[in-house]
A and B are shown apart, each in its own frame.
Chain A
Amino acid sequence: MQSKTMSINLENYEAWLTDYIDGNLSEQEKALVEHFLSVHPELEIEKEDLELDPILPVASESFPYKNKLKKESDQIISSDSINKENYDEAFIAFHENLVGDKKQIEIAKFIEANPSLRDEFKLYGEIKFTPDPDVIFPNKSILKRRVQGRRILWLAPLTAAAAGLALILVFSTNNPSDKSTIQNSQDITTVTPAKKEKGKEIADIRNDNSIENQNSAAENQHTEASTNLTTAQNSLTFSNKRSTYNESKLIADKDAPSTEKAQLSTAIVTRDSLTISTLPSLELAVIELPTRQIINNYQNPIISALRLREKKNTLILAQQNGDKGRNGERGFKVPNLIRFAEKKLDDITSNNESDFRIKTGRTKSGEIKSFSIGGEFLKISHSQQ
């Protein structure tokens, strides 16, 4: 017999009809069936069709295991809003913490009324994925940055060399004798402690029209007096047949006194304007040592010469590869480097980038600017015309 809790509908009416024919319905239930048929004439079932004599006597011949043949889902008892069609969704929502207190109570009652679904409810709670803590990204250091725009990836094998990397670029005047005179050694010494802290070696790269015939004694004197860091061994010269100069204002050092800012200037090698004009928008400051092999060839980590080159949108101060320019000069264009570094420093300090520091010293021959990038040290010196 149909449960009284169930109503007759198009999905179950055939079972009701069977019970009707078998005589298993009460008068009230029969009335329900007859009413159902009256509102569903499309079924084309007349009351007379239901009044056939049952084939078997009702009481004694009914199949004793009828309930066992019924599907389990047919036995699901619905609650206010949960039924056999949507209980999965309700269970998932419960474990997703998407249901309120009222809904939780309803789900609990639904499970209580349908204990066969209890395991299914529990199973949904176990369908969770937990990360395996043993799975870790190998070698996170390759992802990290020490300087804006620079990958540790390429720097990693150069760690030892980079530890000794430092640069001094002295932009001399036409008069070599001017270079060796210190005008304000006190300012210069502000650079020295930072260098010592970093344990860097400083290369003194002369950019001078005296080329390799430059007075080495004057160089050394200047180096010792100004920074006391440069050794004769590390003093490197390269040719840059400079002919004419233009005065160009530098972007002022934020740490420099205002009076000094006005004095900051650098000489631009007009012959290098082609290089300058080809510089892309200055994006990132990168110091790159191409290969350890090259460093080894130089027998020390000091940059022997520099040149600017473009790599993607990144300007790189790269180790000079020994090639000579068409005019016989070697190395990078010092003014370019200065302009580049100054602009970058200004950008960086404007962004309150704590990894960057800048200090300024003065010599008679001009300014010495030094700045550290992510713990490495780079000095750029230049002189006034």
Chain B
Amino acid sequence: MTVSEYNSCVDQHADSVYRFIAKNLRDNDRAQDIVQEAFARMWEKAADIQAEKSKSYLFTSAYHIMIDSIRKESRMSSVEQISMDIAVSGKEYLGLKKLLDEALQKLPEIQRSVILLRDYEGYSYEEIGQICELTESQVKVYIFRARNTLKKYIVKPENAI
């Protein structure tokens, strides 16, 4: 990967990886730090990275930095744990998009990540598996569980759209 290819990667993918991290964390400052760190790591390995693999490398780095960051703050929820217990009394109708955003934050970290990689970037299950260090089967299970959970959240009587 040459300097120009690296800089091209910045132009092409900085925004998308930033959106991915920011959506996960809902913390723009932390997301910026993570994106910077991810690019720094990619630069260190630039000589070994093929340009066509740069996006995947970038997302993989950013994802793992994010996970490390979350774990450091002891905010990592259990993979299978999910809490749908939120105060809904008096909540007004939010609209599907806001409701989805709200539901997304209730998902376990791993499910949230695979869903966003799938929807934001259109990654295949195999690619998501490489980024998140999961098998394709695991990715599929997490995506299916996530979508099912999101659907159940949306159709809850208090959230009924």
A residues in contact (CB < 8 Å) with B: 88-89, 92-93, 95-96, 120, 123-124, 126-132, 135-138, 140, 142-148, 151, 351, 353-355, 374
Contacts and interface: CB of A to CB of B under 8 A. Distances in A.
Nearest to A152: B7
In which size bucket is the chain B interface?
35 or more
B36 interface: yes
B144 interface: yes
A131 to B, nearest CB: 5
Contacts of A148: 3, 46
Contacts of B39: 143
Provide the main secondary structure of the chain A interface: loop
Given A131-B19, A135-B18, A144-B10, A354 B2 contact: yes
Given A353-B3, A355-B3, A92 B148 contact: yes
5 contacts: A129-B100, A136-B15, A137-B32, A143-B39, A355-B2
B151 A120 contact: yes
Contacts of A88: 148, 151
B155 interface: yes
Nearest to B40: A151
Given A137-B32, A374-B3, A127 B147 contact: yes
Given A92-B147, A146-B3, A353-B3, A128 B119 contact: yes
A123 B43 contact: no
B83 to A, nearest CB: 19
B115 interface: yes
Contacts of B131: none
B150 interface: yes
A129 B114 CA distance: 11
A209 B143 CA distance: 72
The listed residue with most A CB atoms (<10 A of its CB), out of B3, B4, B148, is: B3
Nearest to A313: B44
B120 interface: yes
A143 B18 contact: no
B35 interface: yes
Contact of A96 (B10, B15, B104, B143): B143
A138 B23 CA distance: 15
B3 A140 contact: no
A136 B31 CA distance: 11
B26 to A, nearest CB: 11
B8 to A, nearest CB: 10
A144 B7 CA distance: 5
B101 to A, nearest CB: 8
Contacts of A143: 10, 14, 35-36, 39
Nearest to A136: B15
Interface string B137-160: 000000110011011001100000
Contacts of B96: 126
Interface in B99-147: 100, 104, 115-116, 119-120, 143-144, 147
A140 B6 CA distance: 12
Nearest to B39: A143
Given A123-B154, A148-B3, A355-B3, A129 B104 contact: yes
Contacts of B119: 128-130
Nearest to A374: B3
B3 A137 contact: no
Interface in B1-44: 2-4, 6-7, 10-11, 14-19, 22-23, 32, 35-36, 39-40, 43
A371 to B, nearest CB: 15
Contact of A127 (B18, B23, B43, B100): B100
B144 to A, nearest CB: 5
Contacts of A151: 40
The listed residue with most A CB atoms (<10 A of its CB), out of B11, B40, B150, is: B150
Given A88-B148, A130-B119, A136 B3 contact: no
Which 3 A-B pairs give the minimum distances between C-beta atoms? A137-B18, A129-B119, A137-B14
